[in-house]
Structure formats: C-alpha cells, structure tokens
Amino acid sequence: MAADSDPESEVFEITDFTTASEWERFISRVEEVLNDWKLIGSRVGKPLEKGEYTSGTWEESSQEISFADFKFSITHHYLKQESAENDGRDELEEDAYPLAMQDLLCINNDFPPRAHCLVRWFGVREFVVISPGANCEAIISESKCSLLLSSVSIALANTGCQVPLFVQIQQKHRKMFSGECQGPGVRSDFEMVHLRRVPSQYNHLSGLLDIFKNKIGCPLTPLPPINISIRFTYVLQDWQQCSWPQQPPDFDALLAGEVGGVEFGKLPFGACEDPISELHLAATWPSLTEGIVVDNDVYSDLDPLQAPHWSVRVRTAENPQCLLGEFLTEFFKICCRKETTEEILGRSTAEEEGKENSDITQALSKLTEPSTAVPIHKLSVSSMVHSARKRIRRHRRVPESPLNNDVLNSILLYLFPDAALDKADVSEVRPPQQSPDRQSEDYHLYNQLKSCPSDSLTHRLALCICMVNFHHGGVRAVAHLWQEFVLEMRYRWENNCLIYGLASGPPDLRCCLLHQKLQMLNCCIERKKARDDGKKSSSSDGARDRSRGAPEGAGPEGAGPAEAAGKSWDSWSDSEDEFFECVSDTEEMKEDKEEAENRSRSKPEGRLQPHGTHTLLNTQEPLYIPITQEPAPMTEDLLEEQSEVLAKLGTSAEGAHLRARMQSACLLSDMESFKAANPGCTLLDFVRWYSPRDYVEEQVTDADGRVEVRGELSARMKIPGNMWVEAWETARATPARRQKRLFDDTKEAEKVLHYLALQKPSELTRHLLPCVLHAALLKIKEEESAEDLPSVRSSLQQISSSASKILRHPNPEFKKLEDVISQLMAVEAVIARARSLKAKFGVCGGEREREEDGDELERFVSSLLEEPEVCVSGAGRGPAGNVIHKLFVSSQRAALLAPMEEETLRSGGSDDRKAFPDFPPPAGREILLRTCVPRPAPYSKALPQRLFCVLMRDEFRLAGAFSSDTSFF
C-alpha cells in the first residue's frame, strides 16, 4: 500500500497526436499506389471511336493494400490507346474537364456487349477500383462506407488524380460501387441504387425521367434537352420450329450387331443436343429526345419492329454432349485402368479345360488316398465323379462373351478384308474405305503425331477399339477384341499369311510403337515365307534335275551373273540345316574349312552382278557385287535397348573393342559374302565397293617414266587395331545363304507375339491414343471443310502443334493429353454451333428468294460465331431481321398454342398482333439518360449528368454520375 501511495511510482500515459493513425496510413498508401501508376495530374486521350470499347484492348494492374488488418485490392482498369498522351499534350487547357467527365456524354459506345460493368454503366475508359480482399468480408455498414469514400476523396485531392476511383460496397454479387472523380473546380459523384423488384411508378421511361430531373435539380426554367438511349432485349429459347440438323447414329443397329465395315471406319461427329440455347435480340433506339417517344404505364411507342438498330448475340449451351468428344473421353478413361486381360475376362478356356480334365482323371486316385475326414460311404466312384461334375458345372457358369459373334466377325472382316478371299491373293482385296491422297498434308500428319498412316491396319484397329469401347461393352469388349486380334496375328505367322494393311519394309520409326511391332511381325512373315518358298522351289528343281540327269555343276553355284542378277539371298535354297548356328573348334572341322576355302577360290558363289568395269587388283578378274544379307530390322525399343547395352560397356579400351565387334556383325557378313563371290580378292577390293571414300587413288611414276594410278587405304583404315582389318582376317569365304542369319525371324516373331499378348487394355489404348487423336483431327478437318470456319482452322493448327510435342515424349502426361482432348471437344462444339445457326437461318436450305440475301445470311452467321454481338443489317427489315422475326413469331405461336398460318406471319393484321404479339415481353430494359446542366447553382458551370437504368424481372438498378461545380456554388 505504501508503494502504491508513493507519487513517484505513478505512471503517466502520454498520447502523441503527431503519430499517423491507421486511417492516415491507408490514405497515404492509396496515394503511393496512384503515384506508382503515374495517375497524377490531368489525363488526355483520343476521342473514342464507335465500338472501341468492344474491339479495343483492356488492360489492368493490381496491388494489395490494407487498412489496419483489413486487406484491400486496388485495381487499375484502362483502355489501351496508342500515343494518347503525346497527341493531346499541346492542346491541354487549364480548365479542361477530366477525361472521365467527357466520356459521360460520349454516345459512340453505348451498351458495349463485352466490357466491365462500370464501363457499361458509366461509359468511362479508365478507372480505379478498391475492393475487399479475397478472404475478407464485405463492407456493409454505412460508417465504413463513408470512411472509405472520405479516404478516396482525400487521396484524390492530395494527389490531383483525375481518374475516377470507385469503392465496392455491399455483397460482391450485388456489384454495388460508389466513387468520385475530381478535376480543377469540378467533381463527379458516382452513386448506385440496387433493388430486387422494379417499383411500379418507375417501370417506364416517364418515371425514370422524373427521378433524373429531381436528382440533378436544375434551377433553369427551360430545362436543357435530355438525350435518351433505349435498348430492349428479347430472348428466344424455343427452337421447336427448327429441325435439329444432327443425324444421330443408329444405335439399335449397332447394338444388334448389324454393322458393316463402313460404320467401323468412321468416327461419329456432332452434338446430341442443340448447342445454341438462347438467342438474344437487342432493339436499340439511340439519341432520342423527351418529346419524340412516349413510354408510360398506359401506352408505349417502343415497338421492336420499328427500332432503327438491331443486334443479336447467341448464348451457347454449357458443355454440350458431342459424339466425338464422348468417344475420345471414354477411350481415354481406359488408359488410367490397371487390370490385365485375364483379370478382366477371367480364366482362359484352355485353363478351364485343363482343370476339368484334372478333376475327372483324379477321381479314381482320390479313392485310394487315405483320408479320415471323408466318410466311408462317400468313397465311391459315383460320388467322386458326381462331385467333379458339380465343380465343372460351377466353373462353366462363365458370363457370356462381351462381343457376340456377329459383331466380332464384322470387326475382323473390317480389319482383315483379305480373310474373305484367299489370304495369299492380297492384290484383289480393296481397302474398306476410300484411300487417302498419299501426297496430301493430312496423310503425312502421322509423322508429327507419331501415330500411323490413315490407311493402315493400326489405324483401323484404333477406330474399332474406340467403337467397341463405346458401344459394345466397354473395357471387357476391348480386351476380348484384342485377344482375338493377337490370335489372328499368331495364325498369320504360323501360316505365312502377310498382314494386310501394313507397308512392306522395316519398321517405320516415325510411327507409334505398336505399329512398329506389327511391321516387325510382317517382316518376319516375309522372311519365313521367302525361305519356305525357296525350300519348295529348290526341292522341286532338284527332283527335276535328277530326273533329267543334270550335268555336274548345273546348280545355283554354276549360274552366271546374268541369271543371278535379279535374285536376293532369300530366293536361294536355304533350309534350316544349311545355316551353321554354331562353329566347332575341332581339327577336323578346321581342315574341312580349309578345303572349303580352297574350293571357293576356284568356284565363286553368291554373285549378284558385276560392279561396273571394276576388276580385282591382283587377278584382274571382274569385281562382282555379292548377294548379302539384309540388316536386321529393329523397332525403337530394341534400338534403345541396344544403345543402353553399348553404353554400359564403358569407355575403356576393352569396352570399346567389344562394342566395335558387336556393331560389326553386318560388316563381317558382307565381307564373307564378298570373299565368296570374288575369290582371290583383298581388303582393298572390298573397300573399293563397300566404302569408296576410304580408297585413295594417286598417280605414281614408275622407273620407266610411265604414270600409273595406284590406290591405297585411307588414313583411318591404317590406324593400328582397325576393326575392318581384324574382321577381314577372320572372315571366311561363305556365301550369304550359308551364313548364320543376322535376322532370326522365328525368334523375333515370337518376341513380338509375346509382347502383344502381354499388353493390358490400358497399355493398348496408350499405344493407340495417338492414332485416335490423328483420326479425330482428320474427322474435324473433314467436317470443317464443309463449313469454312477460319477460327476452327487456326485452332486445329495449334492443337496439332501442341499434340505433336506431347506425343513425341515416351510417356506423355495425362493432364496434357486431357487438355488436347478438351480442345478437340471445343472445336467440335464450334462446328456444331455453326451448323445449328445455319439451319436456323436457312443458310443450308433452298428457301432463299435471292442470292444476295443468302450471302448476307452467311456473313451474318459467320459473324455470330466470331463476335460477341452482331449488328443486323437493315434491322427488322433486312434478310436476317426477317428470319429473326419469323423465329420469334413461331415461338410465340407455340407458347400461346395458336395455329400457325401464313397470314399471321406477315406484318399486316394489327388486331391479330394485339391478340398474339410477335415478341415476348422484354427480358431486360436499359435506358440511358444524359444531359449537361449547371449544378448546384444557376451560375455554375454546365457539367455532364448521366443516369443508367436497368430494369429486369428480378433486378432494378440505377447507376448515376452527377457532376457539380466546386468553384462557383
């Protein structure tokens, strides 16, 4: 207590009123932002052109500010205009109105179809908005609103900024703004009223004029004229009188299996519902005066047919169901699954049969097994067989196969049209659809997308998988079809039947991996078929020769160069026992080889044709090109695997030597063939044919003075340890038909078939997804060519470019692929909208009376697709206006259940129009009032005043900009 009573222990709190408060800091922060954006001082801009608010570029910049702990976002919106400051700087007047006040009276941009709401309501080209932050509550109380408006007023006064500054108040969905604009001696206040219902006394033009006159409070007795602009919007939602142009596919025929090859070769296209949901007609009366038009609660002169300006916009359906987009989406869903084919289809038939047989065969053995758990009376042959049969019946209750036989046979016949004829005679088979132009850019699109040619088997398989997945059972049907496809591949391999629809030659690395695998299998079938055919022909020729008593040396070895010129090594008799797969190291084999080499020196083998006029350097005999083995074809995964193996060998000398030996297998084979065809040849002879640039010739003068041309190996061939020299020394004179095969077609074919059999449905669809996207792009291009839409063409180029970058990656991201599919769906919707509009406006039909009217309608429809709002030439009296009028009349008749008669569609008959109006009540009415009056005193400056009124069924909004003179009041 004594301490508390001590006067020295008392603490005095001193309040420093010079410290800035939170309110003052907020104002200072607003001023800093305005200075950073260089909004200080007067603003000069070009005069606004008509429609510039819609066609121009709007930009914005934003920053975060705070009032204590309350976050605000301040955003600067402005119309980008080039060299506006420099053009008007010299013409700047000292007492000029702010740019925003000049915009209040501009009539060139009334009712812009696409702009910020403040631009539409107040007509300003530049403004700043302060709104609550993203996670902050709305400013509802009057005190907070007044505090913000005071802050704005002080900041504008301190900085001299002439750009209007708005503050968003109330809930955000109400779009309520209050603001202020200051200039030299003038100020404009931006105010707003928002109600849910339209008051009855203000439901017409006369009531709104009363509000405007009372608000401006002009003391002048002859009130200056008020400029009035009116826009009524009528909505058309009923399209019953318009037939939907999309022809839906025959789903009953598809599900019943009555499907021809043509159906499987085509992707569906188009929207299942009308993509145009509404048509908005805006009838506009610009620049009226108060005495010209009458609109009150009793009578109105505002007939839309008499409006001088019509404009139309269409409202599209959100995410319309489109056939091609549905196909692509359902196909892409399989890529995300993880089940194997066995898990989807269950146990295979072979496994079931094996299980059944084991149950029956083990019935007797189970009788003799000692078991205490089984009662004695059940140990009989009949009981054991009965239990086995019950298990068999239980296993046989397998659900029906996903694809019925009719559909499956139709698909297989579409994939393999040569199956209907003799598979050996493929030349008579016609493609199931019209073959594309191989020189066109669309045909070579597969090079960019890494898919496959559009006339190939892989392309048809992708279309069938897509169709089966959507119409015939989903992923189970896909697994069933793939299983049948793999069985067909094995059948063709075992029976030497070439695969129809694949280009001959090695795998094309520009295509997808699945297409490369099928091409590899086809190469194997070609090699096997050529070998088997050669075996049959050689056996028949041998039998003929033996019957005729052919002379010695009349075999293939004795054939001359002219006869062997057109033969490849596959055409020779090369049965399995003629290939030496392994080499013995015994002395006897070595002696046999030496004898064979000695014989080969006198008897050349495997000659194809002479190599021009070249001769062997040592013997001066003609140099022959040998028959060689073709290099082994490889797919991209095998090339990648080989490169990894070679890279793992390292950079050591031993690794480099081993790598060179692995890469020289084809070189060694060619050397052996060359030695067999040219006995007595040297490495120089081989290099002259195989690598001419490594044979260097030079002129040499001998002792007698004669000039001779001598050749030698290049410098790189003389490097010690050169692989060519080592290979030449180890190479034996062996013709290609007696060499070990470089390409083991049996092994490679089994590897391909095993690879195909192990593919899951998800892996299969990932392989075929580039082909499906390729087919979708071709389908959209085909459909677009009939509509001629420039925006769609540019979009397709962008989609193709982005898809090619994504699909080139070995494992493309699913998210990016989804984006590509979404872009394709958007393009399909655009084409569907174009067809819908053309059908509604009669562009595609033959109902047009004049050709110029048809051209006008085509331009009008194309503009509707490209622009947010399109002006109707001639308003209600033009060709497009007549069609729109008929659409509204038909909709009104249908809504009022009135009979459709040709007389009622004409403009005559006023009594009938009163009973059945041509247009419904306007869905929205917008009235713009403008004038220029002195305010607040009669001797004040005449300043612009503006009131924008919006009247809808559930909204009543007044947005006013009222200017006043702050110097003389």
Tell me: pLDDT of 798 over 60. yes
At residue 881, what are phi and psi to the nearest 5 degrees?
Answer: -65, -40
- Which H helix or E strand runs over 774? helix 761-787
Within-domain flag for 768:
yes
Task: Check residue 649 and give its pLDDT.
Answer: 73
| Helix, strand, coil shares, percent, the chain, to 5 | 50, 15, 35
DSSP 3-state of 279:
strand
Which one of 613-617, 715-719, 881-885, 897-901 scores highest in mean pLDDT? 881-885
Q: Residue 193, by phi and psi: left (phi above 0), alpha (psi -120 to 50) or beta?
A: beta
* pLDDT value at residue 93: 55
Is 766 in the same domain as 652?
A: no
- Give the number of other Cβ atoms within 10 Å of residue 548's Cβ: 9
The angle that helices 475-494 and 405-415 make with each other, rounded to 10 degrees, is 50
pTM for the full model? 0.73
The answer to whether residues 501 and 417 belong to one domain is yes
The pLDDT value recorded for residue 151 is 94
Distance of alpha carbon 395 from alpha carbon 726, whole angstroms: 64
- Quote the CA–CA distance of 832 and 838 in Å, as a whole number: 10
**Is residue 414 domain-shared with residue 495, that is, in the same domain?**
yes
Tell me if 864 is assigned to some domain.
no
3-state secondary structure (DSSP) of residue 878? coil
- The candidate with the shortest Cα–Cα distance to 958, out of 943, 940, 946, is 946
Does residue 410 lie in a domain region?
yes
Residue 546 parent element (H or E)? helix 513-548
Is 818 in the same domain as 786? yes
Residue among 108, 229, 122 at smallest CA distance from 926: 229
Provide the pLDDT for residue 844: 65
Cα gap 640→533, rounded to integer Å: 34
* 694 falls within a domain: yes
* pLDDT tens by residue, 242-266: 655 555 555 444 444 443 333 677 8
Provide the pLDDT confidence category of residue 580 given band limits of 50, 70 and 90: very low
pLDDT at 87: 47
Q: Which residue has the higher pLDDT, 915 or 756?
A: 756
For residue 79, give both structure tokens.
């119309």
Q: Which of 882, 888, 890, 889 is nearest to 847 (CA)?
A: 882
**What's the rounded mean pLDDT across residues 26-36?**
94
**How many other C-beta atoms can be found within 10 angstroms of the C-beta atom of residue 745?**
22
On whether both 33 and 132 belong to a single domain, the answer is: yes
In this structure, are residues 875 and 307 in contact, taking their beta carbons and an 8 Å threshold? yes
User: What angle (nearest 5°) sits at the alpha carbon of residue 727, between those of residues 723 and 731?
Assistant: 175
Residue among 930, 922, 948 nearest 300 (CA): 922
Does 55 fall in a domain? yes
CB 613 within 8 A of CB 490: no
Q: Lowest mean pLDDT: which of 182-191, 269-278, 519-528?
A: 269-278
Using the predicted structure, report yes or no on whether residue 152 has a pLDDT greater than 90: yes
Q: Are residues 718 and 628 in the same domain?
A: yes
Helix (H, G, I), strand (E, B) or coil at 383: helix
Q: Which of 794, 825, 856 is the last residue of a domain?
A: 825
CA-based nearest residue to 520, from 749, 767, 754, 741? 749
In whole angstroms, what is the distance from residue 442 CA to residue 602 CA?
Answer: 57
Residues 6 or more apart whose CB falls under 8 angstroms from that of 868 comprise 54, 113, 114, 313
What is the pLDDT, as a whole number, of residue 668? 86
Residue 516 lies in a domain: yes
Q: pLDDT, tens digit, for every residue of 66-123?
A: 998 899 999 999 999 876 444 444 444 556 789 999 999 999 999 998 899 999 999 9
Give the pLDDT mean for 951-959. Answer: 95
* Residue 691 to residues 686, 687, 889, Cα–Cα distance (Å): 8, 5, 85
Q: What is the pLDDT of residues 618-649, one digit of tens each?
A: 888 899 999 888 888 888 888 888 777 777 77
Residue 317 clears pLDDT 90, i.e. is over it: no
* Residue 571 DSSP symbol: G
| Same domain assignment for residues 788 and 699 | no
Q: Tell me which residue has tokens 């290609």.
A: 736
Residue 429 has pLDDT above 60, yes or no: no
Q: Rounded to whole angstroms, how far apart are CA atoms 852 and 871?
A: 18
Lowest mean pLDDT among 368-377, 386-395, 584-593, 650-659: 584-593
Residue 570 to residues 518, 522, 529: CA-CA distances in angstroms?
21, 15, 9
* CA 264/CA 409 separation, integer angstroms: 12
Q: Which one-letter DSSP state was computed for residue 934?
A: E
Task: Report the C-alpha dihedral over residues 482, 488, 491, 495, rounded to 10 degrees.
Answer: -150
pLDDT band at residue 447 using 50, 70 and 90 as cut-offs: confident
DSSP secondary structure letters along 580-646: --S---SHHHHHHHHHHHHHHHHS---EEEEEEEEE-TTT-PEEEEEP-PPPPP--HHHHHHHHHHH
Of the pLDDT bands very low, low, confident and very high (cuts 50, 70, 90), residue 540 is low
Mean pLDDT of all residues in 905-934: 76
Q: Is residue 901 part of a domain?
A: no
DSSP code at position 397: -
Query: What pLDDT score does 869 carry?
Result: 92
pLDDT of residue 892: 86
Q: How far apart are CA 718 and CA 568, in angstroms?
A: 33
List pLDDT tens digits, range 685-701.
Answer: 999 898 888 888 877 77
Q: What percent of the chain has pLDDT over 90?
A: 34
Tell me: do 695 and 767 sit in the same domain.
Answer: no
* pLDDT surpasses 90 at 750: yes
pLDDT in tens, 448-472: 888 898 889 999 999 999 988 888 8
Query: Last residue of some domain: 734, 765, 783?
Result: 734
DSSP 903: G
Alpha-carbon span 206 to 299, nearest angstrom: 11
Name 622's Cβ contacts closer than 8 Å, sequence gap at least 6: 610, 611, 614, 615, 616
Please report whether residue 348 resides in a domain. Answer: no
Query: Are both 147 and 116 inside the same structural domain?
Result: yes
pLDDT at 583: 39
Query: Are the CB atoms for 463 and 455 separated by under 8 Å?
Result: no
Q: State how far Cα 237 lies from the chain centre.
A: 32
State the Cα–Cα distance between residues 360 and 375, nearest whole angstrom.
Answer: 20
Q: Give the span between the Cα atoms of 300 and 622, in whole angstroms.
A: 109
- Mean per-residue pLDDT, 553-564: 34
Domain span holding position 102: 22-81+96-218+935-965
pLDDT exceeds 80 at position 394: no
**Which pLDDT band holds residue 717 (cuts at 50, 70, 90)?**
confident
Residue 119 vs residues 77, 112, 114, 525: alpha-carbon distances, Å: 10, 8, 10, 73
CA dist 937 and 940 (Å) reads 5
Q: Which of 837, 897, 835 is nearest to 323 (CA)?
A: 835
Q: How many domains does the chain fold into? A: 3
Percent of the chain at pLDDT > 70 equals 75
**Mean pLDDT of all residues in the chain?**
79
Give yes or no for a contact between 670 and 601, defined as CB atoms under 8 angstroms apart: no
pLDDT at 729: 86
CA gap 50, 42 in Å, rounded: 24
691 alpha-carbon distance from chain centroid: 47
Q: Which range is least confidently modeled, 78-92, 325-339, 758-772? A: 78-92
Domain boundary among 805, 825, 845: 825
701 and 641 together in one domain: yes
Distances (CA, A) of 145 to 69, 539, 676: 17, 105, 102
CA 179, 183, 186 angle in degrees (round to 5)? 85
Write b or e for each residue in 682-703: b if 16 or more Cβ atoms lie within 10 A of its Cβ, otherwise e: ebbbbbbbbeeebbeeeeeeee
Alpha carbon dihedral 210, 303, 957, 214, in 10-degree steps, equals -10
Cβ atoms within 10 Å of 624's Cβ, excluding its own: 23
pLDDT value at 386 more than 60: no
Residues 626 and 719 in one domain: yes
Query: What CA–CA distance (Å, rounded) separates 283 from 111?
Result: 11
Whole-number pLDDT of residue 530 = 84
Residues 628 and 488 occupy one common structural domain: no
Residues 47-66 pLDDT 10s? 888 889 988 899 999 999 99
